[in-house]
Structure 1
């Protein structure tokens, strides 16, 4: 029987590709787990099982559950910058956010879980980044108010949060839509219908073509 050939070590570029694939699988699995159970309910073992990797890799790449959560939220904000870049009109932004319930429901659910689990500023990992991003919308609303497009008694900060909550309603209140409209609130048909209504309401408020 001929002697077996010595096993070759993977080339550095192959190891790099394998590492990147493992990290990506972990991030995708974590996004799904956090969306399903929130930060408190998510389990590192479950994330590893979803990703098909050894649990120790999560500690190696992300320094544990908290570091992984920060990586997932950071990935969301990078995605959000591409989804709604500066200069996007409010009406179009509202439409795109609603359709995340169709294209990226895990991202919407993660955002909702952050609110449900909120205990205070000290336990809010993306507080600064999120607030800076939303401040851009508030400033745009305030500018329209200064132009006379909105009444002076409208609170720009409250209005922006109201619009955010409305955009997330198909994810946070699906049972209300199902009972009231007799539809599947997860269907593409309904989500496109609701997205267009969000754009209509935004235009009615005088913000339709306002850019963020």
Structure 2
């Protein structure tokens, strides 16, 4: 059963408190994974009482789902079906650079083989939709005939994610991920690269 916050907490802007908790959760989950993150640490980072996690999100699992929902909320603008594949990858690259901690959370799940995350079913369903889209794009000629859509989807996801996941490699290659123009230029380069994968 959810406990109500005390009167002082009820006077706060609930949306502000929720956003503070989501921001703190993204940082904690990306640093420690779902299992390793502690609600007390999330609440302390957010500057609120930890009972608000249960009150607003139903507990740690609900908070994790809310974090995943935040990432998905921006996907329709990126994944418009009419957008060419090359532009789609470029748009994902920009989105990853804008929200690196959300992407690192996904990477941490993979490194930990964290099959117990609350978002797993939704995540699998989302990637199956992406695979269906890649298969359609192959039929439409956006992928060469000798490319397997499964491998292409995995590789292109990695291409979009690379600067946010491996900023140290970017630096070693004399690229400044923190530069204001980097995201635009990387998206352009990724778009150009993927365009070469189309049927000749």
TM-score range, shorter chain: 0.7 to 0.9
Choose which of 141, 156, 169 in structure 2 pairs with 1:176: 169
CA separation of 1:143 and 1:60: change in aligned 2, threshold 3 A: closer
Shift of 1:16: 8.7
Query: 183, 186, 192: which one pairs with 2:178?
Result: 186
Distance 2:117 2:146 in 1: 30
- Structure 1 residue aligned with 2:44: 49
Distance in 2 of aligned mates of 1:44 and 1:144: 42
| CA deviation after TM superposition for structure 1 residue 167, in Å | 0.7
Tell me the secondary structure at the aligned position of residue 68 of structure 1.
helix
CA-based RMSD of the aligned residues comes to 2.6
Task: Supply the distance in 2 between the matched residues of 1:148 and 1:92 (Cα, whole angstroms).
Answer: 15
SS in 1 for 2:13: helix
In structure 1, how many angstroms separate the alpha carbons of the residues matched to 2:15 and 2:195? 43
CA contact (8 A) 2:93 2:160 kept: yes
State the TM-score, normalizing by the size of structure 1: 0.77
Listed as ranges, the gaps of 5+ residues in structure 1 are 1-8, 208-212
How far, CA to CA, are the matches of 1:69 and 1:203 in structure 2?
36
Task: Tell me the alpha carbon deviations over residues 30-79 of structure 1, each in whole angstroms, 9 at most, x when there is no partner.
Answer: 12222233323322122112211111111222232222111211222122
Paired residues in the alignment total 192
Q: Greater Rg, structure 1 or structure 2?
A: 1
Q: Which residue of 1 aligns with 2:132?
A: 139
1:118–1:124 Cα contact (<8 Å) kept: no
Question: What's the counterpart of residue 4 of structure 1?
Answer: none
- 1:61 aligned to 2:53? no
Separation in structure 2 between the aligned mates of residue 149 and residue 64 of structure 1, nearest angstrom: 43
Provide the rounded CA distance (Å) in 2 between the counterparts of 1:87 and 1:17.
43
Query: Are positions 1:204 and 2:196 aligned together?
Result: yes
Q: 1:134 offset after TM fit, Å? A: 2.7
Alpha-carbon distance, 1:124 to partner? 3.9
Looking at structure 1, the residues matched to 145 and 87 of structure 2 have their Cα atoms a distance apart, in angstroms, of 25
One of 15, 27, 31 as aligned partner of 2:22: 27
Structure 2 CA distance for partners of 1:23 and 1:101, relative to 1, 3 Å: same
Give how far 1:143 is off: 2.8
Moved more, 46-55 or 19-28: 19-28
How many Å apart are 1:17 and its aligned residue? 7.3
TM-score by length of 2: 0.81
Q: 1:105 to 1:96 in 2, by over 3 A?
A: same
CA positional deviation for 1:152: 4.0
Q: Is the 8 A contact 1:44 1:65 kept in 2?
A: yes
- CA distance in 2 between counterparts of 1:182 and 1:59 reads 46
